[in-house]
Structure 1
Amino acid sequence: MALPKGDDRVVSTGLADRLKERQQASRRLRLRRMVTAAIIVLVIFVTTWALVFSPLLGLRTQKITVVGSDGSVSDKQVRDVLASYAGDSLLRLDTGRLSTRVSDSLNRVRQAQVTRAWPQGLRVQLTMRVPVATVQGPDGYQVLDNEAVVLERVVEAPSGLVTIMPDGADGATGPQTISAKQVAAVTQVAGALTPQTLAQVTSGSATEAGQVTLTLSNGASVVWGDTQDNELKARVLATLLTSSASIYDVSSPHRPTTRSADGATAAPATPSQAS
């Protein structure tokens, strides 16, 4: 059956309209996608700027907290070291580099650990160097830790520290110098002692070969030997000091001996028994 005249034009017009609508819908979809993408990019940009470059997370030095100091380093000193980072976003800060900067800038600090304290602060945990010995220098006395790091210089030797003396084993009577090697040997030994034992030691000396001898406040002496097994020797010596003697020999910590004023020698407890 033939279509009525003019129906072909109606069909053509309907198809054209649907095609046009479909094209318009496609354009609207593309536009919505472009707008959505632009909004996402803008949000990412604004968020990144706000977090990384704006003052929102910028470091404020007054919000830097310091813990672990023994009083020789003030909070202000630590904040001054980190002052150049004020205003920088916490996200941009390299906490490892900041930790190193604090420990390198303050010689009383053995180690520093910097962590973020959101939103605008830092927490600085300090591990301090402990003074254990002192040695006389041309400009007074140097206070040293167990690594022979000079912590400070003072006019008079502080009490409670081991005074490093020249080695008198060679019988020299004139002025004697103390080498860096000798200083390091004594400070290593002093740093290994328990606080109770360290309080009883008044002075120490070392030969160039690294053989260390300590003198106690009661006049007794300790034959320490070299700087191997320092922790073991320290434990053994702490046990030996519970008995009276004039000489305590821990140079062979597995076979320590003591000698009394009358020359009698004893072999006290073994290290395993001492511990």
Structure 2
Amino acid sequence: MGTVLGLVAALLAAAIFSPILAVGTISVTGTKLVTTDQVQAALEPLKGKPLPQVSDDEVGRLLEPLVQVKSVTTQARPPSELVVEVLERIPVALVKQGERYRLVDVDGVVLATTADPSSVSLPVIDGGAGTIGKDLFQATAEVLGALPPDVLSKLSNASAQSVDAVELKLVDGQTIIWGNAGEKELKAKVLEALLKVPADPKNPVRVYDVSAPRHPVTR
């Protein structure tokens, strides 16, 4: 029995440390904000390392400089391919800074910058984190993060007088009274349904109030 266990241990050790199973190719999926080339370049130090020794944590640490990457999962495909699936942060708004606009996620992480806000179908958060304060910024960003992409793309800007008074503006000029960040998933579904109601030219809607999502109001 001892001989058999020793043989198994030797085979496992050989598999773990064998150069035959060294990383030679790194395949990347899930990238939009960063490029495949950027990810592969960051993971270049893994080349030549045995596949069984590569962990998600190590890959994540190597990709930390790419702030757009939120997390990763990896899969080894012997003899030499490492597949890396990237989960990126999701941009929810633009924040104006000088003449440029920062693309940010729900945590306020800057993912990119642009000089042309019309090139991105996302709302502008009035004031930004530095002006309106962290709490108001976070409340507004959480609301935007709950909205489906088709609704998010219809917004022009977002603001908050307090954490309980988040308001959104549609590109067509209508106001959305959101209230606080509570029940944000329900509010998002109610708002999405309201926006799909055909417009009545004789009684145009100027305000969508979903602050009490079980009793929404339009006026």
Task: Using the aligned pairs only, state the percent identity.
Answer: 31
Larger radius of gyration: 1
SS of residue paired to 1:177: helix
After the TM superposition, list the runs of 4 or more consecutive aligned residues in structure 1 that deviate by more than 4 angstroms.
39-50
How far apart are residue 44 of structure 1 and its match? 6.9
SS of residue paired to 2:120: coil
SS of residue paired to 2:52: coil
Equivalent of 1:92 in 53, 58, 72: 53
Equivalent of 1:82 in 43, 46, 54: 43
Q: Quick check: 1:133 aligned with 2:93?
A: yes
2:110 partner letter? V
| 1:1-275 alignment, distance < 5 Å | 47=11, 50-60=14-24, 63-70=25-32, 72-93=33-54, 95-101=55-61, 104-138=64-98, 140-157=100-117, 158-166=119-127, 177-243=131-197, 244-259=204-219
Distance 1:136 1:124, change over 3 A: same
Distance 1:58 1:247, change over 3 A: same
How far apart are residue 127 of structure 1 and its match? 1.8
Which protein has the bigger strand share?
2
Matched residues in 2 for 1:50 and 1:246: separation?
70
1:56 partner letter? I
Decide which moves more: 50-59 or 129-138.
Answer: 50-59
TM-score for the superposition, normalised by structure 1: 0.67
Query: 2:96·2:127 contact (CA, 8 Å) conserved in 1?
Result: no
SS of residue paired to 2:113: strand
Matched residues in 2 for 1:102 and 1:247: separation?
47
Distance 1:178 1:138, change over 3 A: farther
Query: 2:42·2:63 contact (CA, 8 Å) conserved in 1?
Result: no
TM-score for the superposition, normalised by structure 2: 0.83
Query: 2:43·2:63 contact (CA, 8 Å) conserved in 1?
Result: no
The size of the alignment, in residue pairs, is 210
SS of residue paired to 2:64: helix
Distance 1:42 1:189, change over 3 A: closer
Runs (5+) with no aligned partner, structure 2: 198-203
Matched residues in 2 for 1:104 and 1:45: separation?
35
Query: 1:143·1:150 contact (CA, 8 Å) conserved in 2?
Result: yes
Query: 2:22·2:50 contact (CA, 8 Å) conserved in 1?
Result: yes
How far apart are residue 91 of structure 1 and its match? 2.0
How far apart are residue 80 of structure 1 and its match? 2.0
Aligned Cα root-mean-square deviation (Å): 2.8
Query: 1:166·1:206 contact (CA, 8 Å) conserved in 2?
Result: no
Matched residues in 1 for 2:63 and 2:45: separation?
16
How far apart are residue 180 of structure 1 and its match? 2.5
Distance 1:98 1:139, change over 3 A: farther
More RCO (CA 8 Å, sep 6+): 2
Matched residues in 1 for 2:190 and 2:5: separation?
69
